């Protein structure tokens, strides 16, 4: 691909773009409601878009040009192509996925009961985090493939490092699973290849947007449970994870959203909400994890609120080598026995 065709929805907007580009000496080829711009000039073009309204920017579409012209099958919003070109590292990065495990700790004893598998990618000296990887996967329209690859790689890399009594929490996005009997086969096959005990696997729903329809989501969770695995619901208390999901899906484990935990202490009004959420989950027979614990005061507050498990930087940072809890946390638990 040497150039992109920029499609505008109206002739006035195209004229505006032409004037903007020519005023800044950006070489273009103009057609009917279309501007072709070289890939090498695309970053300059993006830098000029502040001259357009936000609405106009969102209406622009782009497609790669070949010798036969623009490909109508590859037309995407302009911001998608911008992200694709900024993340050309994505495909090689998927060949170098690396998983770090963050400890999940029993609140009463300080014992590490499991680890959450968190994706990274190593390219040379650079370590790319989960956020950029997921953003690039979405831009490249590879969310389904990346999600499946991440699940299987997490199992291969981390399951064998667990102590016999520990579990592995594996994230998945339900929006990429259209049929659990088909989409989850590679995950289940990988579990069998490494000899995983399914009862020590927890598949954790992570979804930045609204969930797919509940009927499909319940079938996904049921398919995991048929194999003997447990399921967890992330971010209870956030905008996309409501109490109705908790009652409808009845997961084995639920994680409280970190915004509820940040700065929490017994005198804050938020403490009463957290305690109520914990009691509600327990009434449904669901274990509760408080994640995002970064301070001792937060740890003390969630213990008083009755959570079962805790996770966060105060207890231990994600690491390639699975380790115990931090010295600070260990010292605190010694004072509690």
> Per-residue pLDDT tens for 16-30?
888 888 888 877 776
Q: Which of 82, 205, 58, 70 is closest to 140 using CA atoms?
A: 82
Phi-psi region of 141 (alpha: psi -120 to 50; beta: other; left: phi over 0): left
8 Å CB contact between 308 and 92: no
**Nearest-CA neighbor of 60 among 75, 40, 39?**
75
Nearest in space to 132 (alpha carbons), one of 173, 87, 175, 94: 87
Tell me phi and psi for residue 106, to 5 degrees.
Answer: -70, 125
Measured in degrees and rounded to the nearest 5, phi and psi for residue 319 equal -150, 150
The helices-and-strands tally (H runs, E runs) of the chain is: 15, 15
**Predicted local distance difference test score (pLDDT) of residue 313:** 96
pLDDT number for residue 67: 64
The residues facing 35 across adjacent strands are 6, 30
- C-alpha pair distances (Å), 232 with each of 28, 34, 92, 217, 284: 51, 48, 31, 12, 14
Task: Report how far residue 336's alpha carbon sits from residue 243's, in angstroms, rounded to the nearest whole number.
Answer: 32
Query: How high is the pLDDT of residue 15?
Result: 83
Q: Which residues of the chain have pLDDT under 70?
A: 1, 30-33, 66-73, 207-212, 237-242, 337
Helix (H) or strand (E) run with residue 136 in it: helix 130-139
| Alpha-carbon separation of residue 272 from 146, 229, 276 (angstroms) | 39, 32, 6
- Amino acid 101: pLDDT: 97
């Amino acid at each position: 691909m040497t150039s992109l065709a920029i499609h505008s929805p109206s002739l006035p907007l195209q004229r505006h773009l032409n004037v903007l580009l020519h005023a800044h000496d950006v070489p273009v080829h103009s057609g009917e409601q279309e501007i072709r711009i070289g890939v090498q000039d695309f970053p300059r073009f993006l830098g000029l878009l502040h001259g357009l309204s936000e609405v106009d920017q969102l209406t622009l579409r782009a497609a790669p040009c070949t010798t036969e012209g623009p490909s109508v099958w590859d037309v995407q919003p302009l911001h998608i192509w911008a992200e694709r070109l900024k993340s050309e590292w994505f495909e090689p990065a998927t060949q170098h996925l690396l998983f770090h495990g963050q400890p999940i700790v029993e609140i009463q004893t300080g014992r590490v009961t499991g680890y959450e598998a968190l994706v990274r990618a190593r390219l040379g000296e650079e370590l790319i985090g989960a956020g950029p990887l997921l953003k690039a996967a979405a831009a490249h329209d590879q969310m389904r493939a990346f999600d499946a690859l991440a699940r299987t790689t997490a199992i291969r890399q981390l399951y064998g490092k667990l102590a016999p009594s520990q579990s592995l929490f594996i994230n998945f996005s339900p929006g990429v699973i259209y049929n659990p009997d088909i989409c989850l086969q590679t995950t289940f096959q990988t579990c069998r290849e490494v000899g995983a005990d399914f009862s020590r696997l927890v598949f954790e729903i992570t979804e930045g947007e609204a969930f797919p329809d509940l009927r499909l989501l319940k079938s996904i969770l049921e398919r995991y449970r048929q194999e003997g695995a447990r399921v967890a619901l992330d971010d209870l208390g956030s905008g996309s994870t409501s109490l109705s999901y908790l009652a409808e899906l009845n997961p084995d484990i639920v994680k409280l959203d970190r915004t509820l935990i940040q700065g929490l202490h017994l005198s804050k009004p938020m403490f009463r909400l957290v305690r109520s959420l914990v009691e509600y989950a327990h009434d449904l027979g669901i274990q509760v994890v408080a994640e995002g614990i970064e301070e001792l005061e937060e740890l003390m507050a969630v213990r008083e609120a009755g959570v079962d498990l805790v996770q966060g930087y105060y207890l231990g940072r994600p690491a390639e080598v699975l380790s115990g809890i931090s010295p600070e946390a260990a010292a605190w638990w010694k004072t509690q026995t």
